[in-house]
Amino acid sequence: MCKLFRGAEYFSDDIDLQIQPPIMPRPDFEAIGVKYRRIPILAIGRDVYCDTRLILDKLEQLFPGSTLGASQPDQRAVQKLLETWTIDGGVFARASQLIPTSMPLLNDPKFTKDREDFSGRSWDKKQIEAMRPESIAHIREAFSFLERTLLADDREWILKTKKPSLADIEGEAHLHGYPAYADLVAA
């Protein structure tokens, strides 16, 4: 699940959240002249923001009363490191490889063709399943990292806040909501 989808609800009821179809075409994008295909995007008037990090920064500027981001430098550093860890450090990529191949979308030839055209690699179910053990090891390690460090003292939220903050969204959004994780926890 995209981390912005988990975060947008905190900002304002005025945000018109439009869920996009899983494959192209995306008529909402066409309607505003956007050729880029990845989601999410944020459109404000004539400005379109095409990356979650930029989108969150913009939302924080627009709705300062609903700020999710940390203000102290050391907390901002933890938040930034978590963002880099999940996106550039591979948690997002490994988490997406754990989506079960029994999922209806992965059995829809239109979807696999769309993804093969987009990514330039095979989306054959056997290949996806072959990658699973290595991805499980990565995601177990990700849970273990959080449980043995930032969450080791049983705090509820990463920065000891009363409510979830951006650090929680950065650090945990990709570790929630994948049905495959039931196997990991049970293992």
Q: Does 125 bind ligand GSH (CB under 6 A)?
A: no
| Residue 39 Cβ vs ligand GSH, minimum distance, rounded to whole Å | 4
Backbone angles phi, psi at 47, to 5 degrees: -95, 135
How many chain residues touch ligand GSH (CB under 6 A)?
6
The two structure tokens encoding residue 43: 């459109």
C-beta of 5 vs 143, nearer to ligand GSH: 5
Cα separation, 106 vs 125, in Å, equals 8
Q: Does 38 bind ligand GSH (CB under 6 A)?
A: yes
C-beta of 37 vs 58, nearer to ligand GSH: 37
Q: Does 82 bind ligand GSH (CB under 6 A)?
A: no
Sign of the C-alpha dihedral computed for residues 54, 116, 92 and 24 taken in this order: positive
| Residue 113 Cβ vs ligand GSH, minimum distance, rounded to whole Å | 13
Among the listed residues 88, 69, 87, the one whose alpha carbon sits nearest the alpha carbon of residue 79: 69
C-beta of 108 vs 147, nearer to ligand GSH: 108
Location of structure tokens 């404000």: 44
Cα separation, 82 vs 61, in Å, equals 21
Cα separation, 185 vs 181, in Å, equals 6
C-beta of 115 vs 161, nearer to ligand GSH: 115
The two structure tokens encoding residue 120: 């330039």
C-beta of 60 vs 161, nearer to ligand GSH: 60
Show the binding pattern over residues 40-79: x = contacts ligand GSH (CB under 6 A), - = does not. Answer: -----------xx---------------------------
C-beta of 11 vs 151, nearer to ligand GSH: 11
| Residue 15 Cβ vs ligand GSH, minimum distance, rounded to whole Å | 16
44 contact partners, CB below 8 Å, separation of at least 6 = 58, 62
Sign of the C-alpha dihedral computed for residues 176, 182, 93 and 120 taken in this order: negative
Please give the residue ranges that form the binding site for ligand GSH (CB under 6 A): 2, 37-39, 51-52
